[in-house]
Amino acid sequence: MRTYDFSPLWRSTIGFDRLFDLAETAQRAGEDNYPPYNIERLGDDRYQLSLAVAGFSPDEISVTAEQNVVTIEGSQVNKTEREYLYRGISARPFKRHFSLADYVQVKNASFENGLLKIELIREIPETMKPRRIAINGTPAGNVHQLEGKAA
């Protein structure tokens, strides 16, 4: 695995320190990479997180959304003992945490063809959106118009 040094980027950015710290932490983490996942951008403020959870049914998986974190847990209950000659499909329990940016919310989750798909949307409150501020000032040269009467 390659390691990247993000320190040059810290000098030219303001307010993205947390983002770089998260990337560095994820890079150094020796955690198990099971189950594999994709993160897709579907639009300007829409994202989709897809996890490959082959061998699990929807009732064996739970998705929990908390503030700035989404947690996916899965565990299988062995209903019948089977004798495998070769077992290549992993069925071990897992727990994955994904940190979300501010104002990103989990909208829904679906399960199809062995993929758990979680739709994320970024909804910035109206008060936090940029707005244009009018600049008030006096007219040029401090000229004041006096009420004039017709002669």
Query: What domains does the chain contain, in order, with CATH numbers?
Result: 1-30 (no CATH), 34-125 (2.60.40.790)
Helical (H) or strand (E) element with 1 = none
Residue with tokens 């932490």: 25
The distance from CA 44 to its chain's CA centroid, rounded to whole angstroms, is 13
Alpha carbon distance 141, 151 (integer Å): 27
* pLDDT tens digits along 23-73: 656 655 555 678 899 999 998 889 999 999 988 889 999 999 998 889 999
Average pLDDT of the chain, as a whole number: 79
- Cα four-point dihedral sign 6, 71, 96, 43: negative
Report pLDDT for 125.
85
* pLDDT tens digits along 50-59: 999 988 889 9
Task: Write the single-letter amino acid at 98.
Answer: F
Instruction: Find the angle CA(87)-CA(93)-CA(95) to the nearest 5 degrees.
Output: 135
Entry pTM: 0.64
